[in-house]
Chain A
Amino acid sequence: MTQAKQIKEFAKQLFRMSLEDGELSPERVDGVLKALEKNPPRHLLATLKAYLKFVEREVAKSTAVISHAGQLAPEIVANIKSQMEGKYGRKLDTVERDDPDLIAGLRVVVDCDVYDASIQSALSTLESSLN
């Protein structure tokens, strides 16, 4: 096994240890980081980077980023959250972002899935169809 693969495998093991009932646990992540600090492996930096990637990916899977132009009513956010949780079968955190570039409407990003109902997206579709 190459060094990069070994580091990745080790980071994956650390990531598995950071899960509690299939969900990322902040306490466990803290524990992993403390253990690494106490007994640093040979390639600590590379290991931490690989571990960070796994954690980031898991966080992205558990987060619905709702970008919107203008005001967004709390009940709409709650509605989106419940629909997305139903779709993905897991609990999701929501993050709201004001993005005037959208012109109007909203865009929801969960991991690598993008749900776009913005005017900006509709206009860019129109632009490409006219080209």
Chain B
Amino acid sequence: MSSVIEQIEQQIANLQNKTVATNTGKILTIGDGVAKIDGLSQVMYNEMVEFPGETIGIALNLEEDEVGVVVLGEASHLKEGDEVKCTGRLLSVPVGKGLLGRVVDALGRPVDGKGAIDSSETYPVEKIAPGIIERKSVDQPLMTGIQSIDSMIPIGRGQRELIIGDRGTGKTTIAIDTIINQANINKVGLASGDPDFRPVYSIYVAVGQKNSNVARTLGILEEKGALEYTIVVSAPAADSAANQYLAPYTGAAMGEWFMSNGMDALIVYDDLSKHAAAYRQMSLVLKRPSGREAYPGDVFYLHSRLLERSARVNENNGNGSLTALPIIETLAGDLSAYIPTNVISITDGQIFLETDLFNQGIRPAVSVGLSVSRVGSAAQIKATKQVAGKIKLELAQFRELAAFAQFGSDLDAKTKAQLDRGSRIVELFKQPAFNPIPIEQQVAVLWAMQNNYFDDIDVSKIVEASNSLREFFSSRKEGLLTSIREKAKIDDDLATELKTAVDEWKTSFN
């Protein structure tokens, strides 16, 4: 009790009788979460303004004689004539490691019922992306734990790789798998005590999703032990359009803090289609001119300024990185729609998921032909390059030949071999959800595939064989896996060891 009295006394002692200058305005109209304000002559673009009842808004439309403000949060108590004050501050959110394992809203306030967030630092939600001088090219891998992606469409730290596909094709699953894989790698790396190990912290931004979906994702992250390395920013479908618009920038601010402090972070924007729709709603209510599909003219800038904040910075700037995995939902596989083409052009590649493949049971349903990684191959480890260099080409040839093979029964031996190999690769890449595979196991399995160890195994048994081989390696050849992980390339010694091990497995599997 005495401490409370001391605190009040301290506050009173600090209370100086000085003049406080504020710039104010009055609400002219309010509706749909947008208020038109008369006054606020000194307000800045994107400045936080304060309504009665400690409600916050952001000034988004600075017009000649009124200001359009988007109200963040509950606006039902606000009425015409209420006073609004400038704060002189741009919107900022709490950042730091204290947020790991927490679920926050678009303003960085905790929504998980775990109490206050242990964070003393704040970071502006909107910030100009790092410039050319601060950047460095992508040269470190970010393993997703998904074989088809790590081998054919590799992602590097600081890259922006779009995950795109129709609803229900496994887009979120790929992102969650990647987050789980980072947590798995972090656990191994931190336990090893390697001073050069750089953990990757994850941020998952849920925009316009059902609360049940967010709860399910949280449950999975918690179950897999990944939540302790993850921050979840949630602006569910029931949230206002303003909060849904802000959430990705809030997540980016949290991720950027890791990057600017020399750490690596991964951010998933799930998804930017809903983000664009929320921005469209807000812009229409603000009476901004609408363009194609009623989106405002700056919808490209909306996403480009967000995704440009993902970068790999050089040693002079801390050597950190922020990798982005934005998600876009297409309608009937239409990649040429407005928002998909925008985001495809901004990102450094895309992972396209096909409904047909998904329905055929090929999961993850990655379309090899339409997926690409523009910078990630520079970051791929040598071991993966050695074993997976030709796989994308082989798989692409397989798809083409498989289409032709449907028309005729007589096939020459070479075509048949290509088809056999392709169908085995397809089977090999099948992987259950939320079970990322460590890179050393991926290398071992792909090495066995490249060295024809799966050729005499029936196609229907490839998944079983692959699981068995991975099980064999993890239970009996732990040392070999560690060598692959540490050397990151297959030299002659390792190739001999791999051959001996796979031969041993083959006799037991048959």
**Nearest 8 A/B pairs, CB to CB:** A112-B39, A117-B19, A116-B20, A114-B22, A112-B41, A115-B19, A112-B24, A115-B21
| Interface size of A in residues (CB-CB distance below 8 Å) | 17
Residue of A nearest to B54 (CB): A128
CB of B23 within 8 Å of the partner chain: yes
CB of A122 within 8 Å of the partner chain: yes
**Once bound together, how far apart are the Cα atoms of A128 and B17, in whole Å?**
17
Kindly identify, within residues 22 to 72 of chain B, every residue whose CB is under 8 Å from any CB belonging to chain A.
22-25, 39-42, 54, 65
**Could you say which residues of chain B place their CB within 8 Å of the CB of A114?**
21-24
CB of B292 within 8 Å of the partner chain: no
Instruction: Establish whether residues B19 and A116, one from each chain, have CB atoms under 8 Å apart when the complex forms.
Output: yes
Contact of A130 among B11, B20, B24 (CB under 8 A): B11
Looking at the assembled complex, report how far the CB atom of B230 sits from the nearest CB atom of chain A, in whole angstroms: 31
A→B interface (CB under 8 Å): 53, 57, 105, 111-117, 121-122, 125-126, 128-130
Contact of A122 among B17, B23, B39, B54 (CB under 8 A): B17
**Once bound together, how far apart are the Cα atoms of A125 and B19, in whole Å?**
12
Contact of B41 among A111, A116, A121, A126 (CB under 8 A): A111
Residue of B nearest to A56 (CB): B38
Residue of A nearest to B41 (CB): A112
**Could you say which residues of chain B place their CB within 8 Å of the CB of A116?**
19-22
Known pairs A114-B23, A117-B17. 20 more at Cβ < 8 A? A53-B65, A111-B39, A112-B40, A112-B41, A112-B42, A113-B22, A113-B23, A113-B41, A113-B42, A114-B22, A115-B21, A116-B21, A116-B22, A121-B20, A125-B20, A126-B15, A128-B54, A129-B11, A130-B7, A130-B11
**Could you say which residues of chain A place their CB within 8 Å of the CB of B42?**
112-113
**Could you say which residues of chain B place their CB within 8 Å of the CB of A112?**
23-25, 39-42
**Once bound together, how far apart are the Cα atoms of A130 and B7, in whole Å?**
9
**Once bound together, how far apart are the Cα atoms of A128 and B54, in whole Å?**
9
Residue of A nearest to B15 (CB): A122
Residue of A nearest to B28 (CB): A53
Residue of A nearest to B21 (CB): A115
**Could you say which residues of chain A place their CB within 8 Å of the CB of B18?**
117
**Once bound together, how far apart are the Cα atoms of A125 and B23, in whole Å?**
16
A-B contact pairs, 17 of them (CB 8 A): A57-B65, A105-B17, A111-B41, A112-B23, A112-B39, A112-B40, A112-B41, A113-B23, A113-B24, A113-B41, A115-B21, A116-B22, A117-B18, A117-B19, A117-B20, A122-B15, A126-B15
**Residue from B7, B19, B23, B54 whose CB has the most chain A CB atoms within 10 Å:** B19
**Once bound together, how far apart are the Cα atoms of A113 and B12, in whole Å?**
26
**Could you say which residues of chain B place their CB within 8 Å of the CB of A129?**
11
Instruction: Establish whether residues B19 and A130, one from each chain, have CB atoms under 8 Å apart when the complex forms.
Output: no
Looking at the assembled complex, report how far the CB atom of A85 sits from the nearest CB atom of chain B, in whole angstroms: 17
CB of B294 within 8 Å of the partner chain: no
**Once bound together, how far apart are the Cα atoms of A112 and B67, in whole Å?**
13
CB of B188 within 8 Å of the partner chain: no
CB of B8 within 8 Å of the partner chain: yes
**Could you say which residues of chain A place their CB within 8 Å of the CB of B15?**
122, 125-126
**Once bound together, how far apart are the Cα atoms of A85 and B127, in whole Å?**
38
Looking at the assembled complex, report how far the CB atom of B294 sits from the nearest CB atom of chain A, in whole angstroms: 19
Contact of B11 among A57, A105, A115, A126 (CB under 8 A): A126
**Could you say which residues of chain B place their CB within 8 Å of the CB of A117?**
17-20
**Once bound together, how far apart are the Cα atoms of A114 and B39, in whole Å?**
12
**Could you say which residues of chain B place their CB within 8 Å of the CB of A125?**
15, 20
**Once bound together, how far apart are the Cα atoms of A57 and B12, in whole Å?**
38
Residue of A nearest to B40 (CB): A112
**Once bound together, how far apart are the Cα atoms of A53 and B39, in whole Å?**
12
Residue of A nearest to B84 (CB): A112
**Could you say which residues of chain A place their CB within 8 Å of the CB of B11?**
126, 129-130
Kindly identify, within residues 1 to 21 of chain B, every residue whose CB is under 8 Å from any CB belonging to chain A.
7-8, 11-12, 15, 17-21
Looking at the assembled complex, report how far the CB atom of B16 sits from the nearest CB atom of chain A, in whole angstroms: 8
Looking at the assembled complex, report how far the CB atom of B6 sits from the nearest CB atom of chain A, in whole angstroms: 13
**Once bound together, how far apart are the Cα atoms of A53 and B51, in whole Å?**
23
**Once bound together, how far apart are the Cα atoms of A120 and B12, in whole Å?**
13
**Could you say which residues of chain B place their CB within 8 Å of the CB of A115?**
19-21
Residue of A nearest to B4 (CB): A130
Residue of A nearest to B83 (CB): A114
**Could you say which residues of chain A place their CB within 8 Å of the CB of B17?**
105, 117, 122
**Could you say which residues of chain A place their CB within 8 Å of the CB of B54?**
128
**Once bound together, how far apart are the Cα atoms of A29 and B136, in whole Å?**
64
Residue of B nearest to A60 (CB): B39
Q: Please, what's the 1-or-0 string for B169-201, where 1 marks a CB less than 8 Å from any CB in chain A? A: 000000000000000000000000000000000
**Once bound together, how far apart are the Cα atoms of A81 and B422, in whole Å?**
87
Looking at the assembled complex, report how far the CB atom of B509 sits from the nearest CB atom of chain A, in whole angstroms: 67
Residue of A nearest to B26 (CB): A112
**Could you say which residues of chain A place their CB within 8 Å of the CB of B40?**
112
**Once bound together, how far apart are the Cα atoms of A113 and B19, in whole Å?**
12
**Once bound together, how far apart are the Cα atoms of A125 and B15, in whole Å?**
9
**Once bound together, how far apart are the Cα atoms of A114 and B23, in whole Å?**
6
Contact of B21 among A105, A111, A113, A128 (CB under 8 A): A113
**Once bound together, how far apart are the Cα atoms of A122 and B286, in whole Å?**
35
Residue of B nearest to A128 (CB): B54
Q: A112-B39, A112-B41 are in contact. Are A126 and B12 (CB under 8 A)?
A: yes
Looking at the assembled complex, report how far the CB atom of B84 sits from the nearest CB atom of chain A, in whole angstroms: 10
**Once bound together, how far apart are the Cα atoms of A126 and B14, in whole Å?**
9
Looking at the assembled complex, report how far the CB atom of B116 sits from the nearest CB atom of chain A, in whole angstroms: 13
**Once bound together, how far apart are the Cα atoms of A42 and B42, in whole Å?**
35
Looking at the assembled complex, report how far the CB atom of A81 sits from the nearest CB atom of chain B, in whole angstroms: 16
**Could you say which residues of chain A place their CB within 8 Å of the CB of B22?**
113-114, 116
Residue of A nearest to B12 (CB): A126
**Once bound together, how far apart are the Cα atoms of A105 and B25, in whole Å?**
22
Residue of B nearest to A105 (CB): B17
